[in-house]
Structure 1
């Protein structure tokens, strides 16, 4: 039972990272490039990190990172096979690696907020002197 719970964060991040990558590649690409903000879509990669950190035991950061690292080759193959890209392979790898970074940053932000709320809750429960 404990093993299934440990891998739920990895599976969640894998699926959400792939979904964000595919949606950014196919649907939202033109909107951000025409607006002059090509990197704005990378912020969507924080969402898989947040969700996977929520489902990981104890709000771990390593599980969402593992899920993103496992999803990156799948996303690269999907982008190369189904989409005629104007970017080189190195540019797509850099884009995916920055997506992994943002995913881990989302997991870290969730962990920070969770700890801050727990600390606040503990502080409120102690009697004031």
Structure 2
């Protein structure tokens, strides 16, 4: 049963990454009218990495990475052909590479939280008589 789980993680990352990317670029999730050009909405890409790493039985870093990398060409094609791109292709590509980084960071964050919780559980069990 666990043999299909990496595909679930990969597909979930692909789907969530695409939704977040297109939502970010269309202004659904990010509607700031401020003068600065920082994009804190990139932190939303942590969520697909967290979820994909949780759903993957093994390869908890590789599945979110591959899911995000498979989603990038689709997102760029949708953005270029069906939506009005406001930036050049190189800017969109830089944004997507940054989004992949944050997605993989979410997967590593899940692994970090998992290790910390296991260590706390081990200390708790060891402290009980």
Q: Is the 8 A contact 1:59 1:111 kept in 2?
A: no
Q: Partners of 1:31 and 1:65 in 2: how far apart?
A: 27
Asked whether the equivalents of residues 47 and 106 of structure 1 are also in contact (C-alpha less than 8 Å), the reply is yes
Shift of 1:59: 7.0
Aligned to 1:64: 64
Structure 2 counterpart SS, 1:85: coil
Write out per-residue CA displacement over residues 14-35 of structure 1, whole angstroms, 9 at most, x where no aligned residue.
Answer: 0000000111111337613x22
Aligned runs of 1:116-127 on 2, under 5 Å?
116-127=116-127
- Any gaps of 5 or more consecutive residues in structure 2? none
* Number of the residue aligned with 2:111: 111
Distance 1:95 1:5 in 2: 29
Q: What is the alpha-carbon distance in structure 1 between the residues aligned to residue 126 and residue 30 of structure 2?
A: 53
**Cα–Cα, structure 1 residues 58 and 4, in superposed 2: closer, same or farther, change >3 Å?**
closer
Q: More helix per residue: 1 or 2?
A: 1
Q: How is 1:1-129 mapped onto 2 (pairs within 5 angstroms)? A: 1-28=1-28, 31-32=31-32, 34-35=33-34, 36-58=36-58, 60-127=60-127
Provide TM-score, normalisation by structure 1. Answer: 0.90
- 1: CA distance between counterparts of 2:4 and 2:26? 32
How far apart, CA to CA, are the structure 1 residues paired with 2:26 and 2:42?
14
Instruction: Provide structure 1 residue ranges, at least 5 long, that are not aligned to the other structure.
Output: none
